[in-house]
Chains A and B, each alone.
Chain A
């Protein structure tokens, strides 16, 4: 079945640093989504991407839908302590249009 490879698995950064994480797949997706999950909570949508090549920003977050439709990246600029959490990429594709999640990137920010 379709799978998403998300990297890195975890990151430890200093407050103020920029962060980059990405997802790749061997399958084509029609939509890429980036979520953040805090402990004990459900995922919250950060950015949605609907077109190949699309570059979208949400505050300090920027995400791009790869031209090949098989990858996406998320950048966080000038990280702050509240950016701590697990970030998931998710793709929608295939005949049933199900939402498939990457394995997540755990972000830790040192003040």
Chain B
């Protein structure tokens, strides 16, 4: 089956620093990947759609300069939270569209900004 690997699974960082989260498709190529944010006891909210070789498409209300997305290859998309603040603390999840396997999700990254 299709596997999406997300790293790191959790990270704690100081306020004002930047954090990079990686999302890799292990056994398939993903021209499109998606980044979600999930607050405790809430559903997944789409932040942006990452397109290989082109700029990401951000959902309304998501700051593109704060959440930098790079999709430089068919198997890797990265989300960088720049100048992180405590309100950025959340669970970030990536997914990729994997042909017949549909939307496959990574295991998520728990970001805590202190």
* A contact residues vs B (CB 8 Å cutoff): 33, 35, 40-45, 48, 88, 90, 98-104, 106
Contacts and interface: CB of A to CB of B under 8 A. Distances in A.
A35 B103 CA distance: 10
B10 to A, nearest CB: 8
Given A40-B110, A41-B108, A43-B93, A88 B102 contact: no
Contacts of A99: 34, 46, 95, 103
**Which label, helix, strand, loop or mixed, suits the secondary structure of the A interface?**
strand
A43 B102 contact: no
Interface in B4-54: 4, 6, 9, 34, 41-46, 49
B80 interface: no
A33 B103 CA distance: 9
